[in-house]
Amino acid sequence: MPLILMCGYPCSGKTRRANELKEYFTQNTERKVHIVGDEGQGIDKNSVYADSQKEKNLRGALRAEVERKVSKDDIVILDSLNYIKGYRYELFCLIKHTQTPHCLVYCLTSTDVSSEWNKGREADSQYTQEILDALVLRFEAPDSRNRWDSPLFTFQQEDSLPFEAICDALFKRKAPPPNQSTQSQPLSSTNFLYELDKVTQDVLMAVLESQKTSVPGDLVSIPGATEKISFILACLAYLYLNMVELRKLRRQFISYTKMHPTENIGQIANMFVQYLNKSMH
């Protein structure tokens, strides 16, 4: 069921508002409410938000957890900064694919207020001033004119949450229709899924095996493919690809290929290798 995106500066009251929403929906509906957020990831916020790759991994983990929890019966609240316009668009594409409504709850505060609230936290929960200032500078405010930021509910610290309006947006509004790119297409042959699964798994294992002997700069040959893996890209992108990253890329490729099946099954290996090389740039 619906996805609620919290959005705002660090220390702008997002978690408090997320808990208010959970309490309201628990008391007034029979639906389960899941809060997904940074706190549940067991991270050191200052370390993560100082490192672009760690932050990217965090966003990926949050998105994956949202995807697992979104269902026909439950409400999911994503309690994170959600400050990047492109990331909010990714989540919008996710809810289009699952055909469920969503809304954005924007906790609007000034930089000074967020800074003061940050100082009032326990020491191990505080952002450093440097990280807080950097996140504020990078913040891309939501805009209700963008379909991925709409419906948008904006309020300040002294405002009460508009519970009824949020309910109407989630339960009385149709989910955004899926576009062609998010709808599954008929598979081109009964053997397609089997070959897609088998070939991508073989490529994945070949990449892992090659890392035992390859060095940066090598072009790694993959059985069944004329394309080669650029091992220098693998090193630069992931400091050696691990199983978790490879499986994630494989799942993404399989999802995409199911929607855009090829008639030439023999090209699956080459397509997957090209996808890996592109993803590692």
Sign of the torsion angle spanned by Cα atoms 121, 125, 129, 135: negative
Residues 68 and 155 in one domain: yes
Of 17, 23, 18, 66, nearest in space to 41 by CA: 66
Residue of 186, 190, 193, 198 lying closest to 269 (CA atoms): 198
Asked if the bond preceding 151 is cis, omega within 30° of 0, the reply is yes
Q: How many CB atoms lie within 10 A of CB 2?
A: 22
Q: What pLDDT shows up at residue 188?
A: 45
Write down the pLDDT at residue 183: 46
Q: Is residue 66 domain-shared with residue 135, that is, in the same domain?
A: yes
Please name the residues in contact with 15: beta carbons below 8 A apart, sequence gap of 6 or more. Answer: 6, 37, 39, 79
180 Cβ contact partners less than 8 Å away, ≥ 6 residues apart: none
Contact between 2 and 102 under an 8 Å Cβ cutoff? The reply is yes
Residues 195 and 175 occupy one common structural domain? no
Q: Let me know whether 178 and 197 are in one domain.
A: no
Residues 220 and 248 occupy one common structural domain = yes
Residues 177, 244 within the same domain: no
Residues 250 and 135 in one domain: no
| Residues 170 and 269 placed together within one structural domain of the fold | no
Domain match, 79 and 13 both: yes
Which is nearest to 268 in space by CA: 193, 213, 218? 193
Q: Which of 157, 111, 104, 118 is nearest to 137 (CA)?
A: 111
Q: Return the beta strands (E) in the chain as ranges.
A: 3-8, 33-37, 75-79, 102-107, 152-155, 219-221, 228-230
pLDDT of residue 49: 96
Q: Are residues 104 and 237 in the same domain?
A: no
The reported pLDDT for the residue numbered 185 is 42
Q: Which residue has the higher pLDDT, 256 or 148?
A: 148
Q: What is the CATH number of the domain that holds 95?
A: 3.40.50.300
Boundary-marking domain end, from 140, 160, 182 = 182
Q: How far from 234 is each of 245, 246, 275, CA to CA, in Å? A: 11, 11, 12
DSSP assignment of 195-240, as one string? HHHHHHHHHHHHHHHHTTT--TT-EEE-TT-SSEEEHHHHHHHHSS
Half-sphere exposure of 39 (CA within 13 A, CB side): 13
Do 80 and 6 contact (CB within 8 A), yes or no?
yes
The overall average pLDDT reported for the chain is 84
Domain finish residue from 157, 182, 207: 182
Domains of the chain: total: 2
Mean pLDDT of 38-62: 92
Q: Where does the pLDDT of residue 280 fall: very low under 50, low under 70, confident under 90, or very high at 90 and above?
A: low
Determine the pLDDT at residue 181.
44
- The pLDDT tens digits of the residues spanning 203-239 come to 888 877 777 776 666 777 887 788 887 755 444 444 4
Domain housing 252: 191-280
Residues 33 and 168 in one domain: yes
Tens digits of residue pLDDT in 154-166: 999 899 999 999 9
Q: Could you tell me the pTM of the whole model?
A: 0.64
Q: Which of 128, 148, 182 is the last residue of a domain?
A: 182
* DSSP-derived pairing of the beta strands 219-221 and 3-8: unpaired
Residues 75, 92, single domain; the answer is: yes
246 confidence band (pLDDT: 50, 70, 90): confident
